[in-house]
Amino acid sequence: MRFVNPIPFVRNIDVSRRFYCEILGLRIEEDHDNFVRFSSGLAIHEGSSLEQTIWGASGDHLDKYGRRNLVLYFEDDDIDAAFGRIGPKVELVHPVERQAWGQRVFRFYDPDGHVIEIGEPMNSTD
Protein backbone atom coordinates (compact mmCIF):
# COMPACT_ATOMS: atom_id res chain seq x y z
CA MET A 1 0.00 0.00 0.00
CA ARG A 2 1.15 3.54 -0.71
CA PHE A 3 -0.31 6.96 -0.10
CA VAL A 4 -1.16 8.71 -3.38
CA ASN A 5 -2.55 12.19 -2.65
CA PRO A 6 -4.95 14.29 -0.59
CA ILE A 7 -8.19 15.32 -2.29
CA PRO A 8 -9.83 18.26 -0.53
CA PHE A 9 -13.47 18.95 -1.37
CA VAL A 10 -13.98 22.33 -3.04
CA ARG A 11 -17.21 24.26 -3.54
CA ASN A 12 -16.42 25.70 -6.96
CA ILE A 13 -13.95 23.69 -9.05
CA ASP A 14 -13.38 26.55 -11.52
CA VAL A 15 -12.47 29.04 -8.78
CA SER A 16 -10.19 26.51 -7.09
CA ARG A 17 -8.55 25.42 -10.36
CA ARG A 18 -7.69 29.06 -11.13
CA PHE A 19 -6.45 29.66 -7.58
CA TYR A 20 -4.05 26.72 -7.59
CA CYS A 21 -2.82 27.45 -11.13
CA GLU A 22 -2.63 31.24 -11.07
CA ILE A 23 -1.75 31.96 -7.43
CA LEU A 24 0.40 28.94 -6.58
CA GLY A 25 1.62 28.21 -10.11
CA LEU A 26 0.68 24.52 -10.05
CA ARG A 27 0.51 22.68 -13.35
CA ILE A 28 -2.51 20.52 -14.18
CA GLU A 29 -1.75 16.86 -14.83
CA GLU A 30 -5.38 15.69 -15.26
CA ASP A 31 -8.59 17.68 -15.57
CA HIS A 32 -11.93 15.84 -15.59
CA ASP A 33 -14.15 18.89 -15.00
CA ASN A 34 -15.14 18.03 -11.40
CA PHE A 35 -11.70 16.56 -10.52
CA VAL A 36 -8.29 18.12 -11.08
CA ARG A 37 -4.91 16.54 -10.30
CA PHE A 38 -1.84 18.74 -10.30
CA SER A 39 1.71 17.62 -11.12
CA SER A 40 2.64 18.24 -7.46
CA GLY A 41 0.36 15.36 -6.43
CA LEU A 42 -2.37 17.52 -4.94
CA ALA A 43 -5.85 16.89 -6.33
CA ILE A 44 -9.11 18.78 -5.79
CA HIS A 45 -12.64 17.51 -6.31
CA GLU A 46 -15.91 19.40 -6.56
CA GLY A 47 -17.54 18.66 -3.23
CA SER A 48 -21.11 18.03 -4.29
CA SER A 49 -20.13 15.47 -6.94
CA LEU A 50 -17.69 13.71 -4.60
CA GLU A 51 -20.35 13.58 -1.88
CA GLN A 52 -22.66 11.95 -4.43
CA THR A 53 -19.96 9.41 -5.33
CA ILE A 54 -19.08 8.53 -1.72
CA TRP A 55 -22.42 8.79 0.11
CA GLY A 56 -24.94 8.67 -2.71
CA ALA A 57 -26.22 12.16 -1.89
CA SER A 58 -24.97 15.72 -2.02
CA GLY A 59 -25.05 18.00 0.99
CA ASP A 60 -25.28 21.04 -1.30
CA HIS A 61 -23.03 23.04 1.03
CA LEU A 62 -23.36 26.78 0.91
CA ASP A 63 -20.34 27.29 3.18
CA LYS A 64 -16.68 26.68 2.52
CA TYR A 65 -15.36 23.18 3.12
CA GLY A 66 -12.22 24.20 5.03
CA ARG A 67 -12.69 23.84 8.76
CA ARG A 68 -9.25 24.72 10.14
CA ASN A 69 -8.39 21.04 10.33
CA LEU A 70 -6.31 20.53 7.19
CA VAL A 71 -3.05 22.16 6.09
CA LEU A 72 -1.75 21.74 2.54
CA TYR A 73 2.01 22.15 2.79
CA PHE A 74 4.29 23.38 0.00
CA GLU A 75 7.93 24.45 -0.06
CA ASP A 76 9.66 27.23 -1.97
CA ASP A 77 13.43 27.81 -2.11
CA ASP A 78 12.90 31.59 -1.90
CA ILE A 79 10.27 32.09 0.77
CA ASP A 80 10.47 35.89 0.61
CA ALA A 81 9.91 35.99 -3.16
CA ALA A 82 7.02 33.50 -2.79
CA PHE A 83 5.44 35.71 -0.15
CA GLY A 84 5.89 38.75 -2.39
CA ARG A 85 4.10 36.98 -5.26
CA ILE A 86 1.34 35.31 -3.25
CA GLY A 87 0.78 37.39 -0.11
CA PRO A 88 -1.03 40.33 -1.72
CA LYS A 89 -3.46 38.00 -3.57
CA VAL A 90 -4.72 35.86 -0.67
CA GLU A 91 -6.35 36.03 2.74
CA LEU A 92 -3.36 35.60 5.03
CA VAL A 93 -3.33 33.64 8.26
CA HIS A 94 0.06 35.26 8.92
CA PRO A 95 3.05 36.62 6.98
CA VAL A 96 6.48 34.96 6.96
CA GLU A 97 7.34 33.88 10.50
CA ARG A 98 10.11 31.74 11.94
CA GLN A 99 8.67 28.67 13.61
CA ALA A 100 9.93 27.16 16.87
CA TRP A 101 11.85 24.52 14.87
CA GLY A 102 13.69 27.22 12.87
CA GLN A 103 11.81 27.06 9.57
CA ARG A 104 10.32 30.22 8.02
CA VAL A 105 6.75 29.83 6.73
CA PHE A 106 3.65 31.81 5.84
CA ARG A 107 0.07 30.58 5.82
CA PHE A 108 -3.11 31.63 4.02
CA TYR A 109 -6.52 30.30 3.02
CA ASP A 110 -7.57 28.83 -0.31
CA PRO A 111 -11.04 29.74 -1.66
CA ASP A 112 -12.67 27.06 0.51
CA GLY A 113 -10.89 27.98 3.72
CA HIS A 114 -8.29 25.20 3.67
CA VAL A 115 -5.01 26.42 5.13
CA ILE A 116 -2.08 26.58 2.71
CA GLU A 117 1.39 26.68 4.24
CA ILE A 118 4.45 27.68 2.23
CA GLY A 119 7.73 26.92 3.95
CA GLU A 120 11.37 27.14 3.12
CA PRO A 121 13.04 23.74 2.75
CA MET A 122 14.27 22.57 6.12
CA ASN A 123 17.85 22.23 4.86
CA SER A 124 17.88 26.01 4.30
CA THR A 125 17.28 26.67 8.02
CA ASP A 126 20.79 25.46 8.98
Q: What is the CATH number of the domain that holds 85?
A: 3.10.180.10
If one counts the domains in the chain, the total is: 2
75 and 116 assigned to the same domain: yes
Q: What is the reported pLDDT for 57?
A: 83
| Residue 64 counted as domain residue | no
User: Percent of the chain, pLDDT > 70?
Assistant: 94
Residue 26 DSSP code: P
> Is 28 contained in some domain?
yes
Task: Select the more confidently predicted residue: 52 or 24.
Answer: 24
Q: Is residue 60 part of a domain?
A: no
Sheet of 28-31: strands edge to edge? 9-10, 43-46, 35-38, 28-31
Q: d(Cα 58, Cα 118) in Å, to the nearest integer?
A: 32
Chain mean pLDDT for the chain: 93
Residue 111: pLDDT above 70?
yes
Same-domain status, 111 and 78: yes
pLDDT of residue 62: 63
In a domain, 43, yes or no: yes
The answer to whether 79 and 36 have CB atoms below 8 angstroms apart is no
- Residues 119, 38: Cα–Cα separation, whole Å: 19
Higher pLDDT, 51 or 86: 86
Expressed as residue numbers, the domain containing 34 is: 9-55
**Separation in Å, CA 124 to CA 20, 75, 98, 119:** 25, 11, 12, 10
